[in-house]
Amino acid sequence: MDARMLDKADLATVLERLAQTRRLIAPVEDRTGAAFASVDEVAAIRLDYRNTSLSAKEIVFPQTEPLLVFRDGAAEERIPAAPGAVLFGVRPCDARSLTMLDAVFRGGETEDPYYAARRDELTVVALTCNEPGPTCFCTSVGGSPDDGSGADVLATDLDDGLLLRAITDRGEVLLGELDAGRPAEDGEIEAARDLAARAAERMENVPVPTDAAALLATFDSDLWSDLAAGCIGCGACTYACPTCHCFDITDEQKRGTGHRVRSWDACTFPPFTLHGSGHNPRPTATARLRQRVLHKFSYCPENFGEAFCVGCGRCVVHCPSGIDIRRILARLDAVLTANSEAGGPTR
């Protein structure tokens, strides 16, 4: 597929041209470090970021989005218009998370038309990683610094140039539109691969248990109350996470007109599973943390074939109590290994 080398000096002009015909979403400097934003001024784009504070999922799965608008008892759907956006410069972990969100929102017997509308028109240019971030562990969960899942073009910073490699038909279309740079040389593609490989080498290795059934078997273990000891029940981890997708549906109205909206929700919140009767199947922080971890590392592998974690480590950065998924996984892995060696059930 098409691979082009773009001089960094030309990048701004190229992106400016792109911004005239496409909605350009890229990382910009932000109070938290970096964040994705719809960009009008190309000069604001900062590709010299490591990763954003929150994930890119807001682009296909906004925090708040109207599903229906209703007036005087009649409802109409509100499918978002999504004119061919380009997500430029997202990291491979966030690009990969899109494939997991695809499995949830587009898989099964029903497709979510709101997600589909935003996702269908999105071209993803993933900026491969030349070094790992302080909390990164993508290689431990099946990803890599130059993983192409969920991306249409892989971009790599090669000092004076930006290498752009199309990896899907949609990516080819974008490169055609950009009509910039020159064909990439094999040596440049090789250099890009080397950078990613070296980044992978320098990344922390986290032992991640992959036996979904064995993980489920830890359900009644005391270990979980230990792991959940500091959890205060906020949603910082869930909301920062690229693959968390739970949502609430509420009606907002004022004098006969209004919206049915969906907004982010978190299994870590106490009222998440609260029944109208007052019964709560997950009444403790222990039960809720256990749900979060088992959902990602046992139930999703069972239902979708992979753990719903891309190893970005944002949950580690943001947890106000310093709970660390890498330590949780290592501890679970140790317990499971010990159990399988002892040949007995989990304690």
Closest distance to other proteins from the beta carbon of 15 (Å): 16
Closest distance to other proteins from the beta carbon of 268 (Å): 9
Element (H, E) at 28: strand 23-30
Residue number with CB closer to other proteins (86 or 294): 294
Helix ranges (H only) for 38-89 are: none
Residue number with CB closer to other proteins (23 or 46): 46
Closest distance to other proteins from the beta carbon of 31 (Å): 4
Residue number with CB closer to other proteins (299 or 339): 299
Beta-bridge partners for 183: 4
Closest distance to other proteins from the beta carbon of 5 (Å): 23
Beta-bridge partners for 259: 69, 252
Helix ranges (H only) for the chain are: 8-21, 92-105, 113-120, 169-178, 186-201, 212-216, 223-227, 236-240, 285-294, 300-304, 314-318, 325-342
291, 282 Cβ separation under 8 angstroms = yes
Residue number with CB closer to other proteins (96 or 282): 282
Closest distance to other proteins from the beta carbon of 91 (Å): 12
DSSP state of 51: -
Residue number with CB closer to other proteins (22 or 282): 282
Please give the C-alpha separations between residue 58 and each of 80, 85, 286, in angstroms, as whole numbers.
14, 13, 28
Structure tokens at 172: 């080819």
Q: Which position has the token pair 């790992």?
A: 132
CA angle (238 as vertex; 234, 243 as ends), nearest 5 = 175
Residue number with CB closer to other proteins (86 or 240): 240
Closest distance to other proteins from the beta carbon of 304 (Å): 10
Residue number with CB closer to other proteins (88 or 272): 272
Closest distance to other proteins from the beta carbon of 302 (Å): 4
Enumerate helices (H) and strands (E) in the chain, giving the number of each: 12, 12
Residue number with CB closer to other proteins (194 or 226): 226
Closest distance to other proteins from the beta carbon of 183 (Å): 30
Residue number with CB closer to other proteins (133 or 209): 133
Closest distance to other proteins from the beta carbon of 28 (Å): 8
Please give the C-alpha separations between residue 132 and each of 94, 144, 156, 163, in angstroms, as whole numbers.
14, 10, 14, 19
Please give the C-alpha separations between residue 303 and each of 64, 123, 169, 294, 306, in angstroms, as whole numbers.
27, 27, 28, 12, 8
Cβ neighbours of residue 236 closer than 8 Å, sequence gap 6 or more: 315, 318, 319, 320
